[in-house]
Amino acid sequence: MISYRIVNELPASLSEIAGGKNAGRPFLVLSDRGGRTLSFGEFYARSLGLAGRLESLWIRRGDRLLAVLPNSAEYALLFFACLHLGAAVVPVNPALHPRDIRFILENAAAKLLVHAPETSGLLDGSSIPRWNLPLLDDPLYGESWTPRPGVSRDGILTIVFTSGTTAFPKAVAHKVGSLLGNARLFNQAVGLAPEDRFLQLFSMAYSGGFFNLLISPFLAGASVVMSPGYGPRALLDFWTVPRAHGVNALWLTPTVAAALLMANRDEAGRAWCRENVRKAFIGTAPLHAKLKRDFEAAHGIRLLESYGLSETLLVCTETPGAGSAGGSVGCALPGVELSVRDEAGRELPQGGEGEIFIKTPHMMAGYLDFQKNAPVPADDAGWLASGDIGRLDSGRLSITGRKKDLIIRAGLCVSPMAVESVLLEHPAVAQAAVVGVENALSGEEIVAVIKPKAGVDWARAKADLESFCKTRFAAGSRPAVLLAREEFPVGSTGKVLKKELRAWAAAEASR
């Protein structure tokens, strides 16, 4: 097997990681295919075979492949095949609205559309050549191919279209060096090791799926169990796959953690978790203190919070050996700089609350300029305004809200996250989301949308919750309206869609 170095900061090339003592060790365990296993050596060799076939389809360094695929071993191989070629993957979540898929098709400038049989219909109307990604046992994966020299750490590996808050998605481009370098630093910070085995829960169309649960474990020599995915059925039977395949490490989102706490009553599974899960990470969205406490108590594990953006990758994390500070997402990774600033852009002293600015060696190459068809850096000075509100205390970062979600009531800024944290303390509340609704007198009024716990009488609980709010909030930050809703609208990454919820709440509150 040819050895070559892609990123000079890495202690070993990909072929060295996949060879030697790792060659026969499992990397991917396919729970939906009878537990079939791909070793590091087999995975690497098959990714070379796929790269060779893509090259025969005239894919060259710098080209882009648009992938509309469900999670699968074949999808994982595609990422590595593009890494060998110096090509970029543009992953597309098949669950996106057809309007957003059309927008990506029109603006990605892809040379080839890679799909599965079940996703081919989503590409109708596109003139870009298509290719149905062959299944794992196709002979192409066994073909011999030698990596081409000169694949650069400055080459673009992924272009991810984010949902964001604008009318259309933004396209975030990341270089090979940024992705692999950031994964290496995170692995070192949290002590990822070959003994760790993760459960793949996230869509591989986003960084949580291909970065947290593919690239990072590979570089650590760890393994990943590919599961059918996250959904209502999987939640009710959540612990079956981890128990069957020896999972001992988890990556969760707050949405998944909350759903597991509410929907999964498998006490045997929770007991198994307490005895077998050694590492549990959580990120992608703010984690309320009560949810963290309740989940940790029920499952007997510590949730290590992390913080990052699509643009910056991971910038902070809690670590296993450090004590937990309430509400903190940990300290910055080596090389990352953080600054908390007021509305005038002035840096605030320790403990001051303001917008978080980030400077990292693993910053995105830029947002894709659809006219120039090239990434454009967000800030010449290297700083990115995160849009998140927080504070720094002795190097630890705490997230206290989202700038765009702040409610301005009678001139007072109210953090929805702070209000939600208090509401979650009430025994009748399973989930809470707070939004601002326009009001002629106060500018915005505070509306709390509540998902009551199962079996709760909302009429009685609402009266009690109103009394609870009077004792826990000052008048200026107290919810004026309490609304009940069985389910919250969520995006493809599990985040609550506050924009949709705000529109619904405004209509309900005006009745």
**C-beta of residue 286 within 8 angstroms of C-beta of residue 417:** yes
Highest mean pLDDT (candidates 84-93, 151-160, 495-504): 84-93
Mean pLDDT of 132-153: 89
pLDDT band at 324 (very low <50, low <70, confident <90, very high): low
Do the Cβ atoms of 422 and 471 come closer than 8 Å? no
Using CA atoms, how far residue 501 sits from 165, 192, 226, 504, 511, in Å, is 14, 38, 33, 5, 16
Radius of gyration of the chain (CA): 23
Phi and psi torsions of 283, nearest 5°: -170, -160
Q: How confident is the model at residue 411 (pLDDT cuts 50, 70, 90)?
A: low
- Confidence class of residue 2 from pLDDT cuts 50, 70 and 90? very low
CA dist., res. 185 & res. 191, Å (int): 10
pLDDT at position 298 is 93
Does residue 5 surpass a pLDDT of 70? no
Burial zone of 510 (CB within 10 Å; 0-12 exposed, 13-18 middle, 19+ buried): exposed
Question: What pLDDT score was predicted for residue 24?
Answer: 97
Task: Give the C-alpha separation, 27 to 297, whole Å.
Answer: 31
User: SS3 for 484?
Assistant: strand
Report pLDDT digits (tens) over 460-510. Answer: 999 999 999 999 988 888 999 999 999 888 876 667 888 888 889 888 877
**Burial (0-12, 13-18, 19+ Cβ within 10 Å), 371:** exposed
Q: Name residue 490's beta-bridge partners.
A: 496
Work out the angle at residue 19's Cα, subtended by the Cα atoms of residues 14 and 25, and round it to the nearest 5 degrees: 110
- pTM score, whole prediction: 0.87
| Cα 351 from Cα 403, distance rounded (Å) | 18
β-pair type (481-484, 443-452)? parallel
pLDDT band at residue 231 using 50, 70 and 90 as cut-offs = low
Rounded distance, CA 15 to CA 4, Å?
Answer: 7
Contact between 87 and 60 under an 8 Å Cβ cutoff? The reply is yes
- Do 187 and 181 meet the contact criterion of CB atoms below 8 Å apart? no
- Residue 248 pLDDT greater than 50, yes or no: yes
Place of tokens 């087999």: 42
Amino acid in the structure at residue 434: V
Residue with tokens 């206290």: 400
Q: Which tens digits make up the pLDDT trace of 250-261?
A: 999 888 888 888
Which backbone phi and psi does 107 adopt, to 5 degrees? -120, -5
Beta strand extents in 94-175 (DSSP E only): 112-115, 130-132, 156-162, 170-175
351 burial level (CB within 10 Å; 0-12, 13-18, 19+): exposed
Dihedral in degrees, nearest 10, Cα atoms 164, 307, 416, 346? -90
* Amino acid, res. 149: P
Mean per-residue pLDDT, 148-160: 86
Asked if 157 and 88 touch (Cβ cutoff 8 Å), the reply is: yes
350-400: pLDDT as tens digits: 999 999 999 999 999 999 999 888 898 877 678 999 989 999 998 899 998
Q: Helices (DSSP H) in 118-266: which residue ranges?
A: 176-190, 207, 216-220, 232-236, 240-245, 254-263
**How much is the pLDDT for 477?**
85
What is the arithmetic mean of pLDDT over 3-18? 57
Confidence of residue 42 (pLDDT cuts 50, 70, 90): very high
Kind of pairing between the strands at 366-369 and 374-376: antiparallel
- DSSP class per residue in 185-202: HHHHHHT--TT-EEEE-S
